Amino acid sequence: LCYRKGKTPRRPALKKTNNVEKDPVGVYCRIRPLGAEDEECCVEMISSSTIQLHAPDGLKANRNGEYKETQYSFTKVFGINTGQMELFEDVARPLVEDLIQCKNGLLFTYGVTGSGKTYTMTGSPGEGGLLPRSLDMLFNSIGPFQAKRFVFKPDDKNGIDIQSQVDALLERQKRDSQQSVPKTPSSRQKADLEFADMITPEESRKSKNIDEDCSYSVFVSYVEIYNNYIYDLLEDAQFDSVRPKPPQSRILREDQNHNMYVAGCTEVEVKSTEEAFEVFWKGQKKRRIANTQLNRESSRSHSVFTVKLAQAPLDADGDYILQDKNQVNVSQLCLVDLAGSERTSRTRAEGSRLREAGNINQSLMTLRTCMEILRENQMCGTNKMVPYRDSKVTHLFKNYFDGEGKVKMIVCVNPKADDYEETLVMRFAEMTQEVEVARPVDRPIYHLAAGRRHRNQGPAGGLIESLPALPPCELVDPTDDQTLPRLIEVLEQRHRIRQMMTEQVKFMLQQFDSQMSSKDTFVHDQQSKLNEKEKVILNQKTEIERLEKKSKTLEYKIDILQKTTEMYEQDKRSLQQELEGQEQMLQKELSERRRMEQRMQGVVTDTKLKWEKECERRVNAKQLEMQNKLWVKDEKLKQLKAIVTENSSGGSFPPEPPKKPERPSRERDHTMPQKRSASPTALPVMFQPKHTTTVPPVRPTHRRSRSAGGEKWVDHKPASNLELDTVMQPIIPNAIKVSTPNEKALSKCHKYVLRHQELASDGEIETKLIKGDVFKTRGGGQAVQFTDIETLKQECPTAPRYNISLKYPGLIMLLRCSVSLQMYFGVLFMINKIEDSI
Ligand code: ADP
Ligand code: MG
C-alpha cells in the first residue's frame, strides 16, 4: 500500500562513464528478388552474414577483366526468399519489446531507389512491412491496458503530461461536440490500403512482458525531411489544390533529456493498429500530393514515422493512473525510410532538382561522416566532434548515438547489374556495424505492489457483492406478516456482514496506521541522518576551501621559485660560457708558449753547434798557420845559423848538421811540445800575437820568483780548485783575483798566474803556479807568455820519497795545459760575443 515518491527521471542524460554497456549498431542486409528472371545478378549471398559482389559482364569487359570480387559482412543477411514476417521477427520485434520496456529504438532502411526500402518498411497488401507489424504487436500487447483518451497529453517540450479522468472526459466531450461526424471504424472512408490487408491474424504477435499494473497510451507522428527541411505530414492545415502553398517547415529542438524533437509537430494519440495505420496513410497521402504538386521526387526524401509509448503506473488501488508526471515513462521507436542513396549523376537531375539531389546526398554523406567519426572516437579513444548538426537527419537522431538506445539499419540491395556501382556504398554499411551505442538500462519507475489492476476484483469487492439481496418489500396486504420479518432477517444479515466488513477495514486501518508510524520513524531517522550528513558536507566544504586557498598560495610560491630558478640558471649558463671562453684562451696561449719555447731552444742549440764548429775550425786553421810560420822561421833561423857559423868558422856554437825541413801537420802537434820540452824558448812562440815580429827575451829558468815585485798580477784561481789545508799559500799583492780570466782584467795587468791543481802520480794533489807575462797584441788583444812554474805539494811523511824523475811528465802536462788554456780563452770570448748578439 505504500510507495516511494522518489523522483526517477525518465531518461536522464547519459553519463559518460566507462562501465556503460554498449551494443554495436545492428546492420542487416536484405537482397530483393530480381525484377525479371533472366536479369543478370551481381550479388550473391555466400553465408548467413556475408554477401559477395560480382562485377557485371559489361563492366568486366570494360576493365579488361580487372575487377574485384568484393565481400561484405553484416549482422545478418536476408536473401531474396526472406519474407516480411521473418525479417520482422529478427529485426523489428526486439525493438518493439524494448519500446514496451521503456527503451528507445531507431530503425532505418538504407539503399538505392528501387532496392526495396519502402517495401521493407511499409510493405504491400498481404505483405505488411515492419511498420504495420510493429504497430500490430504493440497494440496486441497493450490493448486492454490502454488509458482513456486524453489522460496522457503531450506537452510542447517532447514530454507527456497526465491529467485526471474528469479533465480527460471533458476534453473528449469537447472534441466529440466539435466533430460533426464521430470517427468510428464503421463510418470511416475506406483507406487506400487497409491494415486488415497487411497482416493475417495468424501473423499477429504479442509481447509477454507487459506490465499490467501500468496504463499505456500511444502517440504517432510522421515527418518528411526533404532538401534538409522538415515537414509535418500530420498537420491539419487544409491543402489548397488550386494555389498550393509551400508547407511550413519545422525546426529541431532539444528537450531536457537531450533528445532532439521536431518543435510543434503533431502527435496523434491512437488506440488501435487500424487507427495508427490510418494516420500513417493520411500522412503518406499528404506526402504524395505535396510531391506531385510541388514537383518533388519522393525517392529524394526521408520519412520518419515515430511511435511514442507513454506508460504510467496505476495507483495503489489499481483504479486510476498515478497523477504524477514524474512517473510517466515515455519511450519511442523511430521508423525511418531514408532517401535513395544513389549518386546524383544517375538520377539525371537538372536545375533545382539537382540541388535537391545534392542535398539529399549531402545528408546521407553527413550520416556517413558521423558514423565514421563516431567509430574512430570509439575505437581510437579520440574525442573528435561528430557533425550531427550538418544535416537534419543526423541531428534528429543525435541522442541515439550520443546517449542511449538501440540502432538498427537494414541495407536494401537490388542485385541487378545496373545497381552494381551503387552497391559499392555498402562499405559504409559495413563500417557502421563497428559503431557502438549505449544500451538503454532498465529503470524501475515505481515501487508499488504488483497485481494492483485486479485488486478491486479481489475478496473485498466480492464481499460487497455477496450481501444478500433485499426481498420484495412492498406491503399490499395488511395481514402480510411474512414480508417484514423476511426483510428484517435480511437486513440483520446485512448488518452483520457490514459489521464484519467494518472490523476488517478497522483492522486494515490499524495495520496501515502502524505501518505509517513505522514509516514515520524511519523517515525521521533518515532526516536526522541527512542532517548529520549535511553537517559533514558543510565541514568538508570549508576544509576544501581552506585547502584551495593553501594550494593557491603554494602555487604562487612555486611560481616565484620557478622564476628565481630560471634566473639563476641563466646566470649559471652565461658564467659557464665565459669560463669556457677563458679556458680556451688559456689553452691557446699555453700551446703558443710551448711552441715558442721549442723554437727558441732549437735556435739556441743550432747556433751553439754552429759556433762551436766554427770555433774549432778557426782554432785549427790558426794553429796550422802558426805552425807553418814557426816552421818557416825555424828554417830561416837555421839558415842564419849556418851563415853565422860559416862566417865565424869555429865560434862558440858548434855546427849542427843540416836537417831536412819538415812541414808541420796536425798529427805531429802532439809530439812537438815533447820534443821542445828541453828548450822552453819555443813555448812563448805559441802565444805570440799574429803579427809579432820581435821575439821576447828569454828569461833564466832558475831564478827567484819575482812575484813579490811591484807589478800588477792577474791571479787566476779556477772555481774548480779545492781549498787545501797548506801552511804555505802564495800571496800576491795588488792582484786582481779572477775565477775565469777575462780580457778586461788582463788589459790592466802585466803578470798572470794560474793556480793549477792536478793529481800527482803518488795520488796527492799538486798545486802549480803557472806564471806568465801579459802582452798587448797588434790586433788589440792580450797574449800571455808563460815563463815560470812553481809547484806546491803536500806529502805524507810515510809515503815513499818523491821521485825527481817524475818532473818531466809534469812538464808535459803543463804544456798540454798551456795549449788548452789558449783554446779556452778563445772559446770563452767567442761565447761571450754570441751571447751578446742574442
Ligand atoms: P525503394 O523504396 O527502395 O525505392 P521500393 O520498396 O519502392 O524501393 O521497391 C521497388 C519495387 O520493388 C516495389 O514494387 C516493390 O514491391 C518491389 N520489391 C522490393 N523489394 C521486394 C522484395 N523483397 N520482394 C518482392 N518485391 C520487392
Ligand atoms: Mg521508397
What's the average model confidence in pLDDT over 127-140?
94
What pLDDT was estimated at residue 236? 81
Q: Do 318 and 293 form a contact (C-beta atoms < 8 A)?
A: no
**809 C-alpha to center of ligand 1: Å?**
151
Q: Ligand 1, closest atom to CA 35?
A: 12
pLDDT at 281 over 80: yes
Tens digit of each residue's pLDDT (9 = 90 or more) over 91-123:
999 999 999 999 999 999 999 999 999 999 999
Task: Judge if the beta carbon of residue 33 lies within 6 A of ligand 1.
Answer: yes
The lowest-confidence range among 518-527, 623-632, 728-737 is 728-737
Q: Which one is predicted more confidently, 206 or 60? A: 206
Task: Judge if the beta carbon of residue 84 lies within 6 A of ligand 1.
Answer: no
What pLDDT was estimated at residue 686? 38
pLDDT grade for 126, boundaries at 50, 70 and 90 = confident
Is 113 annotated to bind ligand?
yes
Q: Ligand 1, closest atom to CA 299?
A: 4
pLDDT at 762 over 70: yes
pLDDT at 192 over 70: no
Residue 510: CB atoms within 10 A of its CB come to 10
pLDDT at 524 over 80: yes
What pLDDT was estimated at residue 825? 57
What's the average model confidence in pLDDT over 239-248?
68
**120 C-alpha to center of ligand 2: Å?**
9
Q: Do 311 and 215 form a contact (C-beta atoms < 8 A)?
A: yes
pLDDT grade for 769, boundaries at 50, 70 and 90 = confident
Nine-digit cell string for 53: 559482389
What pLDDT was estimated at residue 511? 86
What's the average model confidence in pLDDT over 286-296?
82
Question: Which residue has a Cα nearest atom 16 of ligand 1?
Answer: 119
Q: What's the CA dihedral at 279, 281, 283, 289 to 10 degrees?
A: -150
Task: Judge if the beta carbon of residue 113 lies within 6 A of ligand 1.
Answer: yes
What pLDDT was estimated at residue 819? 46
Say what percent of the chain tops pLDDT 70. Answer: 76
pLDDT at 551 over 90: yes
**278 C-alpha to center of ligand 1: Å?**
22
Residue 71: CB atoms within 10 A of its CB come to 13
| Ligand 1 binding pocket mutation candidate from 119, 121, 287, 364 (most atoms within 8 A of CB) | 119
Is 207 annotated to bind ligand?
no
d(CA 307, CA 134): 9
**305 C-alpha to center of ligand 2: Å?**
14
Tens digit of each residue's pLDDT (9 = 90 or more) over 471-514:
777 777 888 888 888 888 888 988 988 888 888 889 889 888 98
**580 C-alpha to center of ligand 1: Å?**
87
Contacts by 682-686, CB closer than 8 A, 24 or more apart: 683/785, 683/786, 683/815, 683/818, 684/785, 684/786, 684/787, 685/630, 685/633, 686/626, 686/818, 686/819, 686/822
Task: Judge if the beta carbon of residue 123 lies within 6 A of ligand 1.
Answer: no
What pLDDT was estimated at residue 480? 80
Place of cell 818532473: 807
Tens digit of each residue's pLDDT (9 = 90 or more) over 647-696:
766 544 444 454 444 555 554 444 444 434 333 333 333 333 444 344 44
What's the average model confidence in pLDDT over 686-715?
53
pLDDT grade for 164, boundaries at 50, 70 and 90 = confident
d(CA 524, CA 521): 5
pLDDT at 183 over 60: no
DSSP 34: P
pLDDT grade for 132, boundaries at 50, 70 and 90 = very high
Is 115 annotated to bind ligand?
yes
pLDDT grade for 565, boundaries at 50, 70 and 90 = very high
Burial group, residue 236, by CB count within 10 angstroms (0-12, 13-18, 19+):
exposed
- Give the residues across from 752 on adjacent strands: 714, 772
Q: Ligand 1, closest atom to CA 113?
A: 4
Nine-digit cell string for 498: 457490514
pLDDT at 587 over 90: yes
Q: Which one is predicted more confidently, 782 or 282? A: 282
Is 114 annotated to bind ligand?
yes
What's the average model confidence in pLDDT over 358-371?
79
- Candidates 393, 391, 298, 394; CA nearest to 347 is 298
Place of cell 499490467: 212
Q: Ligand 1, closest atom to CA 32?
A: 23
Is 506 annotated to bind ligand?
no
Strand order in the sheet with 782-793: 735-738, 713-716, 751-759, 765-776, 782-793
- Candidates 240, 285, 292, 247; CA nearest to 265 is 247
What pLDDT was estimated at residue 167? 86
What SS3 string covers 408-463? EEEEEECCEHHHHHHHCCHHHHHHHCCCEEECCCCCCCCCCCCCCCCHHHCHHHHH
Place of cell 822561421: 633
What's the average model confidence in pLDDT over 819-829?
54
pLDDT grade for 582, boundaries at 50, 70 and 90 = very high
What are the residues whose beta carbons fall under 8 Å from the beta carbon of 333, sequence distance 6 or more? 95, 96, 98, 99, 104, 105, 106, 107, 134, 306, 307, 309
**342: amino acid identity, one letter:** E
Is 112 annotated to bind ligand?
yes
Q: Do 100 and 138 form a contact (C-beta atoms < 8 A)?
A: yes
**367 C-alpha to center of ligand 2: Å?**
18
**339 C-alpha to center of ligand 1: Å?**
14
pLDDT grade for 564, boundaries at 50, 70 and 90 = very high
Q: Give the mean pLDDT of the chain.
A: 79
pLDDT at 556 over 60: yes
What pLDDT was estimated at residue 455? 67
d(CA 511, CA 495): 24
pLDDT grade for 288, boundaries at 50, 70 and 90 = confident
Task: Judge if the beta carbon of residue 303 lies within 6 A of ligand 1.
Answer: no
Task: Judge if the beta carbon of residue 116 lies within 6 A of ligand 1.
Answer: yes
Q: How many residues does the chain have?
A: 838
Q: Which one is predicted more confidently, 659 or 753? A: 753
Task: Judge if the beta carbon of residue 117 lies within 6 A of ligand 1.
Answer: yes
What pLDDT was estimated at residue 824? 53
**115 C-alpha to center of ligand 1: Å?**
6
Task: Judge if the beta carbon of residue 32 lies within 6 A of ligand 1.
Answer: yes
pLDDT at 516 over 70: yes
Q: Which one is predicted more confidently, 764 or 771? A: 771
What's the average model confidence in pLDDT over 737-744?
83
What's the average model confidence in pLDDT over 730-742?
83
Place of cell 802564495: 730
The lowest-confidence range among 197-206, 604-613, 780-789, 814-823 is 814-823
pTM of the model: 0.56
What pLDDT was estimated at residue 271? 94
d(CA 751, CA 787): 10
